[in-house]
Amino acid sequence: MTIKERKQVLRKKVRSLKQEYSLAQKKELSKEICHIIENNSIFKNAKTIMAYWSMDDEVFTHDFIQRWAKEKRIILPVVNENNLELKEFNGVDELVFGDKFGIPEPSGQLFENPETIDLIIVPGIAFDKNGNRMGRGKAYYDKLLRTTKAYKLGVCFSFQVFDIVPFDELDVKMNDVLFNT
């Protein structure tokens, strides 16, 4: 089986596992994960953080982002064609629904200083114990992550962590992966 085929099989498996949990259950599990992030020394010392506005099947980040935007500069990705652009989060009122996936995105100016990002909180479909990440298959994050020296922190639910996930030379490894216990 090719790497691409192995990724497709694993994506299907994780999609099935996610369906075993209600949105309320995923939000509850997310509270623990966000608490773990908040107690991480990299997070505590970071001034500029790139996060993501979560979809229903991801670690829920809405409350986390709103809480920390008062103390830290929060940057969110915006899908433009086949790339991620970055914009600063300036409150829920400044979010607009994105064209590609309907995910709320900041509406302001492009963030022009990606080199100042200290930490990137990265979602994924699956991670392994070596920091390898498997995304949704569009390589949006991998393209961006290859261009930054920021600390890369993968976040997921415990059922998304495997001994090994299929990866290739284009997949960017995380510095660490945090998940619920």
Is 18 or 82 the better-scoring residue by pLDDT? 18
Q: How does pLDDT run across 150-165, given as a tens digit for each residue?
A: 999 999 999 999 999 9
User: Per the structure block, which two tokens stand in for 170?
Assistant: 């284009």
Number of domains composing the chain? 1
| Contact (Cβ atoms closer than 8 angstroms) between residue 21 and residue 167 | no
Domain that holds residue 34: 3-179
| Contact (Cβ atoms closer than 8 angstroms) between residue 112 and residue 137 | no
Please provide the distance, in angstroms rounded to a whole number, between the alpha carbons at the two ends of the chain.
Answer: 32
pLDDT, mean of residues 74-96: 92
Q: Of 67, 15, 51, 10, which is closest to residue 155 (Cα–Cα)?
A: 51
Question: pTM surpassing 0.85?
Answer: yes
Q: How does pLDDT run across 106-122, given as a tens digit for each residue?
A: 998 999 999 999 999 99
For every residue of 113-167, DSSP letters joined together read -GGG--EEEE--SEEETTS-EE-SSS-HHHHHHTT--SEEEEEE-GGGEES----
**CATH number, domain with residue 77:** 3.40.50.10420
- For residue 80, CA distances in Å to 95, 113, 142, 175, 180 come to 15, 18, 15, 26, 32
- For residue 18, CA distances in Å to 3, 21, 55, 149, 179 come to 22, 6, 12, 31, 14
Q: Can you say whether residue 49 is alpha, beta or left, with left for phi > 0 and alpha for psi between -120 and 50 degrees? A: beta
Q: Kindly tell me the burial class for residue 88, based on how many C-beta atoms sit within 10 Å of its own C-beta (0-12, 13-18, 19 or more).
A: middle
pLDDT, mean of residues 43-48: 98
